């Protein structure tokens, strides 16, 4: 049985999370396979919420699967698809079923997904969502009504260390920290010097929040170059792209695993962050190899 994520954050020197990405469809076998494979190797499993605005099996439904398998889920909630009523209702349901870690996100734009004509909601933003969870934790809803049966969520937020310019991001980030978060999971980082600069600034802003560096598995030089061009907030340094390009044909993914392992090892050994959040995006079955490469 997994220990509660909040306890892991408090007691462990280095916290490790990864993702269980919901599938498109009602068949849960593949997700259950990933959950079974990963649940005992990490401290918690994030479940994405219609990731990249692509409609999928729900985050909350997948979190229940994680619970059923004895794992520790982190419910990702975005502001894109639900208004304040729907978000609060989902949070009550989640808590009643033992899903009590929540990562509060803005959500990608509808335009990047597969239902581009949908109405974007964004009734709240991510800072307001964090405040909302605190309000629920205090025993009330957003309208000030008493809750019959309170909640006690462990609250997380995201950050983008590679943003350009970084200053406006830090203003928003400070608001999230001021609202009160237990943990931060960052967008993908590859440039550890940049991560160190981000951490220096962040430590001055808040000493308590545990910060987990986001590690996105690279599967080849092309994918890395594509991310630089197309995925906002991600920057893969040229030397890593070159390293991937020089890998013998068919070994790009193995090289990507090696790079991810190396980054994690360095983050841990140099105590740059409090942990890592590994995003293998569709290659969940390779996460154990990343952990091995990192010496975890």
Partner 1 sequence: MIIAERKPLEEIKSMLSGYKKILLVGCRTCVTICWAGGEKEVGILSSQLKLASSGEGNELSILEATVERQCEKEMVIEELRDKVQEVEAILSMGCGVGVQTIAEIFEEKPVFPALNTTFIGMPEAEGVWVEKCGTCGDCMLYWTGGICPVVRCAKGLLNGPCGGTRKGGKCEIDPEKDCAWVLIYRRLEKQGRLDLMRKYYEPKNYRAVKRPGRVEAATA
Binding of partner 1 by 232 (CB under 8 A): yes
Alpha-carbon gap, residue 150 to 277, rounded angstroms: 29
Binding of partner 1 by 164 (CB under 8 A): yes
Stretch that binds partner 1, among 18-26, 78-86, 239-247, 254-262 (CB under 8 A): 78-86
Among the listed residues 6, 12, 76, the one whose alpha carbon sits nearest the alpha carbon of residue 275: 12
Report 267-286 residues binding partner 1 (CB under 8 A). Answer: none
Phi then psi for residue 55, to 5 deg, are -65, 130
Whether cis (ω within 30° of 0) applies to the bond prior to 165 is yes
Contact 78, 49 (CB under 8 A): yes
Report 173-212 residues binding partner 1 (CB under 8 A). Answer: 174-175, 178-179, 187
| Distance in Å, CB of 213 to partner 1, minimum | 15
Q: How far is CA 126 from the centre of its chain?
A: 14
Pick the binder of partner 1 from 4, 30, 67, 172 (CB under 8 A): 172
CA 151 vs CA 85, 99, 117, 154, 272: distances in Å: 16, 10, 35, 10, 33
Pick the binder of partner 1 from 33, 70, 120, 282 (CB under 8 A): 120
State the number of CA atoms in the 13 A half-sphere of 214 facing the CB. Answer: 23
Binding of partner 1 by 51 (CB under 8 A): no
Pick the binder of partner 1 from 18, 158, 185, 202 (CB under 8 A): 158
Pick the binder of partner 1 from 4, 12, 84, 134 (CB under 8 A): 84
**Exposed e or buried b for every residue in 246-262, given b needs 16+ CB within 10 A?**
ebeeeebbebbbbbbbe
Alpha-carbon gap, residue 288 to 21, rounded angstroms: 16
Pick the binder of partner 1 from 17, 48, 126, 137 (CB under 8 A): 126
| Distance in Å, CB of 49 to partner 1, minimum | 14
Alpha-carbon gap, residue 85 to 81, rounded angstroms: 11
Binding of partner 1 by 88 (CB under 8 A): no
| Distance in Å, CB of 75 to partner 1, minimum | 18
Which residues contact partner 1 by CB under 8 A?
79-80, 84, 106-109, 111-112, 120, 122-128, 131, 142, 158-160, 163-165, 167-169, 171-172, 174-175, 178-179, 187, 232-233
């Amino acid at each position: 049985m997994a220990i509660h994520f909040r306890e892991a954050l408090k007691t462990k020197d280095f916290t490790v999370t990864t993702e269980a990405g919901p599938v498109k469809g009602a068949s849960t076998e593949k997700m259950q396979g990933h959950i079974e494979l990963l649940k005992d190797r990490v401290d918690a499993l994030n479940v994405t919420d219609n990731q990249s605005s692509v409609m999928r099996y729900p985050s909350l439904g997948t979190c229940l699967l994680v619970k059923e398998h004895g794992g520790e889920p982190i419910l990702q909630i975005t502001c894109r698809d639900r208004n304040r009523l729907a978000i609060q209702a989902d949070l009550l349901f989640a808590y009643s079923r033992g899903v009590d870690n929540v990562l509060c996100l803005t959500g990608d734009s509808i335009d990047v997904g597969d239902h581009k004509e949908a109405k974007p909601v964004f009734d709240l933003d991510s800072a307001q969502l964090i405040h909302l969870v605190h309000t629920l934790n205090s025993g009330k809803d957003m309208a000030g009504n008493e809750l019959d049966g309170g909640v006690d969520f462990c609250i997380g937020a995201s950050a983008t260390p590679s943003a350009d310019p970084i200053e406006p991001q830090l203003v928003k980030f400070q608001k999230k920290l001021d609202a009160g978060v237990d943990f931060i999971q960052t967008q993908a980082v590859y440039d550890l010097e940049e991560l160190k600069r981000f951490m220096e600034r962040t430590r001055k802003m808040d000493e308590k929040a545990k910060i987990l560096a986001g590690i996105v598995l690279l599967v080849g030089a092309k994918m890395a170059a594509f991310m630089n061009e197309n995925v906002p907030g991600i920057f893969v340094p040229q030397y890593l792209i070159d390293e991937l390009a020089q890998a013998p044909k068919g070994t790009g993914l193995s090289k990507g695993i090696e790079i991810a392992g190396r980054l994690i090892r360095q983050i841990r050994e140099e105590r740059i962050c409090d942990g890592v959040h590994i995003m293998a995006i569709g290659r969940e079955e390779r996460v154990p190899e990343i952990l091995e490469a990192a010496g975890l």
